Amino acid sequence: MNLWILKFLPYEGSLCHALFFKTAEAAKKIRSEALESKGVILLKDDFNIEMAIDPAKCVIMLTNCESGAGFMAALNTANAYAGKAYGLPASMVGQSLN
């Protein structure tokens, strides 16, 4: 299963809020509702999480589990190469590049 994650990252503060969806279509529908809203709106995801948020005060990001996993794999590889370049042991960068 590939979950779609609609993240709301506030311009002020550091806590990210997220809603989770089973399909891209459902996530994009809620994203559209958020983008069209004027002021605080109540949103609900496929897992019955409800969130009241003012989208005008947030960055809204749509991603999914596959994208997140692909990014983390690429980041781990890049970190391993950087660690090797700095002479760090493989255990310190989380991956061996034999």
What is the domain extent for residue 51?
4-87
- 35 in a domain, yes or no? yes
pTM: 0.71
What DSSP assignment string belongs to 9-77? EESSSS--EEEEESSHHHHHHHHHHHHH--S-EEEE-TT--EEEE-GGGEEEEEEEHHHHHHHHHHHHH
Q: Is the pLDDT of residue 98 over 80?
A: no
- 18 in a domain, yes or no? yes
Token reading at 84 = 């090797």
- 93 in a domain, yes or no? no
Q: Is the separation of the CB atoms in 97 and 90 below 8 Å?
A: yes
State how many domains the chain has: 1
d(CA 85, CA 97): 11
- 44 in a domain, yes or no? yes
d(CA 22, CA 18): 14
- 52 in a domain, yes or no? yes
- 22 in a domain, yes or no? yes
pLDDT tens for residues 23-80? 999 999 999 999 999 999 999 999 999 999 999 999 999 998 887 777 788 888 888 8
Q: What is the CA radius of gyration of the chain?
A: 18
